[in-house]
Amino acid sequence: MKKLLIIFIFSASALFANDVIHQRQGSMQDFNKLMRSATQILNDGETQGLEDIYTKIESIMIEYPNLFPNDSFEGKTKASQNIIEDRDAFNIIAQDTSDLAALAKIAASNNDLEAVQQHHQNLFGSCKSCHSRFKN
Ligand code: HEC
C-alpha cells in the first residue's frame, strides 16, 4: 500500500512537471505569435490593436519565471539548468522584457509610432539575451 502511494506521488509530480513544461512552451509560442501580429500592424503603419497585444506580452512575462520549478528540467524541455543556478539573472531578463512591453503599450496608447517601433525592436532583442543564456 505504502509502495503504491509512493509510486502515485512520483507519477503525480512527473505529470505536474510535464504540465508546467507544456505551459511555458505554450507561453513562448503565444509570445512569438503576438510579436508577429504586432510587426504586421506596425508594417502597415498602424497602432490599432497594439495595446492589447503588448498587454498580453506583459502578463506572459510577469508569469513566466513561475513556470520553472527545480524538478522541471528533465524530458522534453530546452530550458537550461542555468535557470536554477542563476535565477536572479533569469528573473531580471523576464522583468526587463515585461517592462519593455509596458513601455510599448504606453507608446501605442499615445499613438507614438516611432517609440512603439523602438520598444518593439528592443523586445526582439530580449529573445536573444534570454535564449543565449537560458535555452539549450
Ligand atoms: C526570460 C527568458 C526568455 C525570453 C525573454 C524569451 N524566451 Fe523564448 N524561451 C525561453 C526558454 C527558457 C525556452 C525553453 C522552454 C522549454 O523548452 O521548456 C524558450 C523557448 C522558446 C520557443 C520554443 C517553444 C516551444 O514550442 O518549445 C520559442 C518559439 C521562443 N522561445 C520564442 C521566443 C521569442 C520570439 C522571444 C522574443 C520575442 C522569446 N522567446 C523571448 C526563454 C525566453
**57 alpha carbon – ligand 1 mean position (Å):** 12
C-alpha cell at 120: 518593439
Domains of the chain: 2-134 (1.20.120.10)
pLDDT at 11 over 70: no
Distances (CA, A) of 38 to 15, 49, 69, 126: 34, 8, 31, 16
Supply the mean pLDDT for the chain.
93
Q: Which atom of ligand 1 is nearest to the CA of 68?
A: 18
What integer is the mean pLDDT of 100-110?
97
Question: What is the predicted pLDDT for the residue at 18?
Answer: 83
Name all residues whose Cβ lies below 6 A of ligand 1.
Answer: 21, 24-25, 28-29, 31-32, 35, 77-79, 93-94, 97, 123-124, 126-127, 130-131, 134-135
pLDDT at 13 over 70: no
Q: Which atom of ligand 1 is nearest to the CA of 29?
A: 29
Could you tell me the pTM of the whole model?
0.92
